[in-house]
Amino acid sequence: MTSERALDWVDGIAHRLIHHAARRAPDSLADRLEEEWLADLASQRGPIQRLRFAFGCCWAINVIAHEHAVAALPVASSPTGQGHFIHHANGSGDSPFFTARTITFVLVAILHAALLYGLATGLGPKFTKIIESPLVPRIRQEFRPEARSRRFQSGTFPAP
């Protein structure tokens, strides 16, 4: 019973996410995308897959809206001034083979790997050398009984 309630709860969140995402789509696509995504959401098995699907739709709408906006922009420097539109060729900043998301993911992964490697090998000892410990150990001189007796006599050292 509890798992059914949890599934309903996840379904509700996924539906709301998709509805919210579709509202952010261009007007000509909003209704179509919402119906299409809700139908495809129903084919997803399990709550995690459904949530993942819904979050993916939220990501997708950013890309779709961006491409739609770019495709609809008139070219200001067009010789005729009308009838020319920018076509979304390779996306802004995308390489021919990888999407911007893939490139970002790879860069973040490389950064993490480099940081971990650096800390595991070279950077760790360097940091311990640079950052000096506030507790500097000092070796005390060897205890000498005659020095102690002199202190007793002069009264600088309290008697036990």
Binding site for another protein (CB under 8 A): 29, 32-33, 35-40, 42-44, 52-53, 55-60, 63-64, 67-68, 71-72, 87-91, 94, 96-99, 101-102
The CA distance from 41 to 58, in Å, is 13
Beta bridge partners of 74: 85
CB of 96 to another protein, least distance (A): 6
Residue with smaller CB distance to another protein, 99 or 128: 99
CB of 70 to another protein, least distance (A): 10
DSSP-derived letter for residue 90 is: S
Residue with smaller CB distance to another protein, 2 or 90: 90
Count of all residues that appear for the chain in the document: 160
The CA distance from 127 to 117, in Å, is 14
Q: For residue 74, give the 3-state DSSP assignment.
A: strand
Residue with smaller CB distance to another protein, 89 or 130: 89
Identify the residue whose tokens are 């790997």.
Answer: 113
Q: Name the nearest CA neighbour of 35 among 47, 53, 22, 24.
A: 22
CB of 20 to another protein, least distance (A): 14
Residue with smaller CB distance to another protein, 47 or 53: 53
Neighbours of 49 (CB within 10 A): 14
CB of 13 to another protein, least distance (A): 15
